[in-house]
Amino acid sequence: MTEPSPGPLSDLRVVEMGQLLAGPFCGQLLADFGAEVIKLEAPGVGDPMRQWGREKPHGRSLWWPVVARGKKSVTCNLRSEEGQDLARRIIADADIVVENFRPGTLERWGLGFEQLREINPRLIMARVTGYGQNGPYAPRAGFGSIGEAMGGIRYVTGNPDQPPSRAGISLGDSLAAVFATIGVLSALHHRESSGRGQLVDSAIYEAVLAMMESLLPEWEIGGYQRERTGSVLPNIAPSNVYPTEGGEMILVAANQDSVFSRLATAMGRTDLIENPKYRDHASRGVNMEELDDVIGEWTAAQKTDDVLEILHEAGVPAGRIYTARDMFADPHFAAREAIVRLAHPELGDIPMAGVVPKLSDTPGSVRHAGPELGEHNSDVYGRLLGLSDADRDALAARGTI
């Protein structure tokens, strides 16, 4: 593995306030590309993500080392005036603040955007919430699941004969964090010419809505309401999950005319190409179920590796439906360093997804796993604020850090 580069954001300082996933994932992305991310956590408690996750070897969360990777942990009681003053002193020389408290919380603490930009006009603040900073729903508590439902993704996820399903990950939180990161980078570009920071307002429901393709004009102009369709795309065929020998499954996507021709040839069924039922995109959509049965009968008679080799050789998009085990065994994951490993004093080597996307000249890197609570108090309070050991001990005794 090559020596990690400093990263294109290595000259930036980020102060992360908030907890769980929506804000902290934005901080993770910025840290991946080299930013110094100082995470402020409640003394003695820290981010609840330190306790989250189904599996907890050695009593340790396996989620925390990922979402807090590359960050510095500093304890700071933001609910106390002394803690708020410490936060302001850190933010005075920061480039970015990331937070995901309910709107109005930071203002009550004297840490709102307008208050902070008085001491740091170049400051960019990313605020990630369920409903955004204004509008009638802004004061409501807004978790990712509610944003997913409001943004439309929950309604169209799952099988048509079942209630709406969860995607299996915290999709709404993560999308809002990704859009917040895009907003931060855009604001940084603008700051180069203006010298002024600005507010980045990323709402979970809007981040989900932004991914909903043509859902809105389909309803208003076409009079069509998208519904749950399980594993298929309505009127897009063939594009489905198909069985293979031994009860395994593969995904095949061959709905484009030229690709369908290659699939039919690979199956030894060139008669399908000129069959009026399957001759073009529209006809295949109408006869989707019948066509899926034909393809499924062919795939079910073969081993997974054999049928995938045939399809790959023919230029037909197809692949396994990966689990974590498949990812660890796949040579393509290894070749692109899609999975990286970080040392942990108790958990050993921790595998996690690598940095995305890959930059040719200034790639990002994962510098370390999520830190211990308050691990960087001496560095930040001593190096940045010039507080002595005695000063820090006094602050700790008062419950400020």
Residue-level pLDDT at 81: 95
Q: How far is CA 121 from CA 114, 184, 198, 245, in A?
A: 9, 15, 9, 64
Q: Where are the alpha helices (DSSP H) in 42-170?
A: 64-67, 81-91, 105-108, 113-117, 144-151
Q: For residue 65, say if its preceding peptide bond is cis, omega within 30 degrees of 0.
A: no
Q: How confident is the model at residue 233 (pLDDT cuts 50, 70, 90)?
A: confident
Q: What is the mean pLDDT of residues 290-314?
A: 95
Q: What is the mean pLDDT of residues 312-330?
A: 94
Q: How confident is the model at residue 1 (pLDDT cuts 50, 70, 90)?
A: very low
Q: What is the mean pLDDT of residues 67-89?
A: 96
Residue-level pLDDT at 241: 94
The C-alpha atoms of residue 381 and residue 85 are separated, in whole angstroms, by 12
β 96-99/124-129 pair status: parallel
Residue owning tokens 């969360």 = 61
What kind and span of H or E run contains 389?
Answer: helix 389-397
Residue-level pLDDT at 4: 64
Give per-residue pLDDT as tens, 201-221: 999 999 999 999 999 999 999
Beta strand spans in 199-276 (E): 199-203, 239-243, 249-253
DSSP labels, 321-351: ---HHHHHH-HHHHHTT-EEEEEETTTEEEE
Report the predicted TM-score, pTM, of the whole model to 2 decimal places.
0.90
Comparing C-alpha atoms, which of 342, 344, 351, 347 is closest to residue 375?
344
> Which conformational region is residue 283 in: left (phi greater than 0), alpha (psi within -120 to 50 degrees), or beta?
alpha
Residue-level pLDDT at 18: 86
Q: What is the mean pLDDT of residues 152-163?
A: 90
Residue-level pLDDT at 3: 62
Length of the chain: 401
Q: What is the mean pLDDT of residues 81-87?
A: 95
Q: How confident is the model at residue 277 (pLDDT cuts 50, 70, 90)?
A: very high
Give per-residue pLDDT as tens, 237-273: 899 999 999 899 999 999 899 999 999 999 999 999 9
Coil, strand or helix at 318: strand
Residue-level pLDDT at 54: 66
Give per-residue pLDDT as tens, 173-208: 999 999 999 999 999 999 999 999 999 999 999 999
Query: What percentage of the chain reaches a pLDDT higher than 70?
Result: 98
Two tokens, residue 164: 């709406």
Question: Mean pLDDT of all residues in the chain?
Answer: 92
Give per-residue pLDDT as tens, 113-139: 999 999 999 999 999 999 999 999 999
The answer to whether residue 173 is catalytic is yes
Strand-pairing partners, residue 97, are 15, 125
Between these two residues, 66 and 5, which has the higher pLDDT value?
Answer: 66
Give per-residue pLDDT as tens, 34-61: 999 999 999 999 999 898 876 666 677 8
Q: What is the mean pLDDT of residues 283-296?
A: 94
Residue-level pLDDT at 341: 93
Residue-level pLDDT at 346: 82
Torsion of CA 146, 73, 107, 105, to 10 degrees: 30
Q: What is the mean pLDDT of residues 218-234?
A: 89
Query: 130 near 187, Cβ under 8 Å?
Result: no
The C-alpha atoms of residue 311 and residue 308 are separated, in whole angstroms, by 5
Beta strand spans in 103-183 (E): 124-129
The C-alpha atoms of residue 27 and residue 178 are separated, in whole angstroms, by 10
Beta strand spans in 163-259 (E): 199-203, 239-243, 249-253
Who's near 332: CB < 8 A, 6+ residues apart? 338
Catalytic residue among 95, 173, 201, 292: 173
The C-alpha atoms of residue 18 and residue 1 are separated, in whole angstroms, by 34
